Chain A
Amino acid sequence: MDWLTTPFELAFQQRALVGGSLAAIALALVGTWVVIRGMTFLGDALVHGVIPGIALAVLLDFNVLVGAGLAAAVMILGINLVHRQTAFSEDTGIGLLFVGMLALGVILISRTASYSGSLTSILFGDALGVTGNDVKVLAGVAAITLVASVALHRQFLVLSFNEEKAQVLGLRPRLAHAVMLGLITLTIVGSFQTVGTLLVFGMLVGPPATAALLVRRVPAMMATAAAIGVLSVVAGLVISFHANTSGSATMALVPIVLFFLVLTVQSILDRSRRSSTASTA
């Protein structure tokens, strides 16, 4: 079992494992709602849309989490404005804001007269470079996400499956929607600075989508997604060590490969089941 233990012998590898797993758990919880409610594009847009906020925070020397939060808020308000004031479907608003924010980010990065090495390292964090302090931040994010997911489970559930009923029941779907967006933003912002954009987006969508293929009920989906997420972090680190591939990227790739594996196995099983029913009938 040496091949499984050697990739985790060193302190940085253990921090990558713990930090990556905490991020994977938090992202699996919110990612389940993202997948169920079809908000994947919004999630991707949020991951990239916070870039100008971070660039601004570095330029003006204030907390990057505040900058990222501000950019996310601007983005969500903008998307809501387009959605409410026009007849366009929501993805048009998301697309507008996505490109707008990304362009703003590139402009701000290019405006930095000084060397922007620090900015790049913030934008594209690396799971292998996670510090002890980062692990604490990730633990906090995971804890908040877990508590909120449990406490607001009913509100989120009704919001996702029957928004009109939520109104009738007095569950305030608008507020629940806003809280959910806030929670998604918190998880993305809290984890992407440490583990990198790519890993965050991979973990937000990959494990929940795979879980949705396997189980039906939402809590089971969340648990399965979290387990797949943690498994992907472990597998990613083992592969990155033995195959000598980039850490965060490998971890992000594992759940995607897993998704298509599950999909393929299921469709083969489905076909053989159908043909066996056909032959018995």
Chain B
Amino acid sequence: MTMEASTRIRRSTAILTLPLGIALLVGACTGDSDEAGLRVVATTTILGDVAQNIVGEDASVEVLVPLGADPHDYQASSQQVAAIRNADLVVAIGFGLEEGLSNVLESLADDGANVLEVAPLLPTIPFGGGDDRDPHVWFDPIRVADAAREIASRLAAIDPALEWEARADSYGTALRAADAEISTTLAAIPEGNRILVTNHDALGYFADRYGFQVVGTVVPSGTTLAEPSSAELAALVEAIDRLGVRAIFAETTEPATLAEAIAAEAGQGVAVVELYTGSLGEPGSGADTLIGMLRTNADRIAAALR
């Protein structure tokens, strides 16, 4: 329990020093304003990859939240906000995912910035207890294919001469192929093991698409900023024991300390497996594209639950 106590203290300090932490998360990549062609800004590395597949050489893509950072807590620089304002198209997830950017995106949309929030355009699933919708749409490749078409038609409205939609379609084909491959990979998991315990509630669409059930999350509520109560953790440990859960899925953008504490408490070889969630992986990690990331996650989930 001491481990849990120290984690809780660290969590509280994290909230206390959050503004400071945000200050350190400064974007690394900035587009060159002299470049020819259209300029597209994407909020996360994942959306940046989707956008890149659609625009090819016809536009530059700038990503705001750096690789490996959590999109839930991030604050932009004046230069980046200017890039958002001047971009031909800004692609965001929406539904409040970009917590630190929401004030900026809202106020720039009022100024006439061309902001496209993709999640609200897709068939969504409910989130949390209230009437919120789940923003983590990129875990379902089929929904991403739909989002790609939406982005392409927005771009076609700006410059109809270019082949946005054709590229979105071929990217859609690649996504569908990845989807079929992931289904095959996951078919190795027996029905009784199709149970997920995740760090924060990010895998709703994955569960929806491939027939899994999310029975619990380490962090309550949709944001990575919340922290669990002792009773919630105890209930989670109890559920893991009762259902024979084999693994807890942590995230590359968040420390796995709480997940490890729960796994240790539950005992009986519950593994802590890291998944790519809010950000793509480093180049060469195999998860440096969305399709690669979804494949990597599926491989890891299959290996853990088989």
A-side residues, CB < 8 A to B, are: 7, 10-13, 15-16, 48, 102-103, 105-106, 109-110, 112-118, 120-121, 124-126, 128-132, 196-198, 237, 240-250, 253
List 20 interface pairs A-B (beta carbons < 8 Å), by A numbering.
Answer: A10-B82, A105-B15, A106-B15, A106-B227, A113-B129, A113-B221, A115-B128, A116-B222, A116-B226, A118-B102, A121-B96, A121-B103, A126-B76, A126-B100, A129-B101, A130-B103, A130-B107, A196-B19, A237-B78, A249-B75
| Interface status of B157 (Cβ within 8 A of chain A) | no
Q: Which residues of B from 1 to 54 have beta carbons under 8 Å from A?
A: 11-12, 15-16, 18-20, 22-23, 25-27, 30
B26 pairs with A246, CB closer than 8 A: yes
Interface size class of B (residues with CB under 8 A): 35 or more
B128 pairs with A246, CB closer than 8 A: no
Neighbour of A115 across the interface among B78, B107, B221, CB < 8 A: B221
Residues from chain A with Cβ under 8 Å of B131 in the complex: 114
A131 to B110, CA, bound (A): 8
Count CB-based A-B contacts (< 8 Å).
167
Closest-CB distance, B230 to chain A (whole angstroms): 12
Most B Cβ at <10 Å: residue of A15, A103, A120, A237: A120
Residues from chain A with Cβ under 8 Å of B79 in the complex: 240-242, 244
Q: A110-B226, A118-B96, A249-B20 are known contacts; what are 8 more A-B pairs with Cβ within 8 Å? A: A12-B111, A110-B220, A110-B228, A116-B223, A129-B104, A198-B20, A241-B79, A250-B77
Q: Is the interface of A mostly helix, strand, loop or mixed?
A: helix
Taken residue by residue from 221 to 242, chain B's Cβ proximity to chain A (1 for < 8 Å, 0 otherwise) reads as 1110111110000000000000
| Interface status of B208 (Cβ within 8 A of chain A) | no
B223 pairs with A249, CB closer than 8 A: no
Per CB-CB distance, the 8 closest pairs between chain A and chain B, nearest first, are A117-B96, A129-B103, A249-B23, A113-B129, A114-B130, A240-B78, A198-B19, A129-B104
- A128 touching B76 in the complex, CB below 8 Å, given contacts A10-B82, A115-B96, A197-B19: yes
A102 pairs with B12, CB closer than 8 A: yes
B-side residues, CB < 8 A to A, are: 11-12, 15-16, 18-20, 22-23, 25-27, 30, 72-73, 75-82, 85-86, 95-97, 99-108, 110-111, 127-132, 135, 220-223, 225-229
Neighbour of B225 across the interface among A116, A132, A243, A249, CB < 8 A: A116
